[in-house]
Structure 1
Amino acid sequence: MRISVVIPLLNEEESLPLLYGELDEVFSAMNESYELIFINDGSTDSSAEVLAGLHNSDDHVVVVNFRKNFGQTAAMAAGFDYAQGDIIIAMDADLQNDPHDIPKLVAKIDEGYDVVTGWRYDRKDT
């Protein structure tokens, strides 16, 4: 496995299909082995059902459901534990991180960098 994308989430039923669509588009063009690890941090909306549908339709999708909300740090740690990739990318499920930046991040790793980070320059908090 080359790339693992770890995505912690809480109550993101509306953004999940959009995020998945963008990730699918990006990875279809990249021709890399990958997995998308969604960590459902005790959502009370229909996020679990949306994720189950994605998992059932795509073998790249891994879902971890927490019984209750443990917080983003615990969700991220669980995602790192599940990750099988040589490269691990962490991103939020709320569409604040652009999946189309993933090829640029991976290119920097391929240039020999050990760690690559990005930043949001047009953040939209709700």
Structure 2
Amino acid sequence: MKQSQSGGRRAPDAAAIEAIAIDTLNRLPAAFRAHLGAVVIRVTDFAEDAVLDELGIEDPFDLTGLYSGRPLGEKSVSDSGALPDIIHLYRRPILDEWIADGETLDRLVAHVLIHEVGHHFGLSDADMHALEDDAG
């Protein structure tokens, strides 16, 4: 973690979270990686208010990640002009959870990312846990 000039610790920035996410993607089994090339990873501090409203979430700290797109099994060749699939990682809620739980940041980001990758593939929670174990 970076040190400020005053010697204090600074929270990891969006680029650091993104680097952890990309490293996690690179450790996934090749069969999964082959279908993730067009997925965009976007790290922002919080979800937009419209997203929180749509999901019925009042506290922006309650959402650490979100998959935007159609699950792979629902895609069609007639989907031309569709926006790219995006995995949103929300930095501030991730950092709050990191501080509260004492888990390593790498492990927490990997957990959130893999959960959202699971939505891309239309996986069950059990499948997501197995995928996370494989990437660990």
* Fold similarity call, TM over 0.5: no
TM bucket (normalised to shorter chain) is 0.3 to 0.5
User: TM-score, normalization: structure 2?
Assistant: 0.33
Normalised by the length of structure 1, the TM-score is 0.35
Larger fraction in helix = 2
From the two aligned structures, give the one with the greater strand fraction. 1
The higher relative CO (CA closer than 8 Å, separation ≥ 6) is in 1
The higher radius of gyration belongs to: 2
